[in-house]
Amino acid sequence: MDEKHKILVGERMGKVKQFLVGVKNEMQKVRWPNKKELFTYSGATIVFITFFGLFFAATDFVLAFVKSLGA
């Protein structure tokens, strides 16, 4: 390796290290949910996904039925 390449690799590794230090610092600031909150949020997510899934399935069924009447 020539000297210029070593400098470029060193700079790149320095940026990677700086990025990882920043990630570590940000992860320490995160407030993680406790067990109760986790189950509450997961339950709400499942309810909303189920509701909207059924809503869009019903809408698709109705629109397909209306389209078949016109054909």
CA distance 71 to 60: 17
DSSP string covering 7-53: HHHHHHHHHHHHHHHHHHHHHHH-----HHHHHHHHHHHHHHHHHHH
- C-alpha 23/C-alpha 15 separation (Å) is 12
pLDDT of res. 46 = 99
Q: Grade residue 70 by pLDDT with cuts at 50, 70 and 90.
A: confident
pLDDT in tens, 8-65: 677 888 888 999 999 999 999 999 999 999 999 999 999 999 999 999 999 999 999 9
Residue 2 has pLDDT above 80, yes or no: no
Spans of all domains in the chain: 3-70
pLDDT at 44: 98
